[in-house]
Amino acid sequence: MVSRGSKAYSSLLVHGRLHQYLTLNPYIFVPFKAVPRICLGQQFAYNEGSYYLIRLLQRYPIQELDRDSRNDEREG
C-alpha cells in the first residue's frame, strides 16, 4: 500500500508502474484462500453456516398464497 502523498507514489507515476497497483485482484478477499492447501476449517464453517440458515428458516412459518392474492399484488 502506497499513500498518495509519498515519494514512492510519485516515483510510480513517473515510471508508469502505477497501473500494477490499481488493477483489481480477483483473489483480494477469499476467506479460505484459493490455493491447493485450503483452510482446514472450511468445510466446518460451511456446515455451520448452512445449519444456522436452516434453523433460521425453520423458525418462521412459510405460507403459500392463493393465486388470486398473488395476482392482485403484482397488478397493484
Which tens digit of pLDDT belongs to each residue from 21-48? 666 666 666 666 666 667 778 889 999 9
Q: Is 16 helix (H, G, I), strand (E, B) or coil?
A: coil
Whether the model clears a pTM of 0.85, i.e. scores above it, the answer is no
2: CB partners within 8 A, 6+ apart: 8, 9, 12, 21
List the chain domain ranges.
1-29, 31-62
Confidence class of residue 12 from pLDDT cuts 50, 70 and 90?
low
- Does residue 11 or residue 60 have the better pLDDT? 60
31: CB partners within 8 A, 6+ apart: 39
pLDDT of residue 52: 96
pLDDT of residue 42: 84
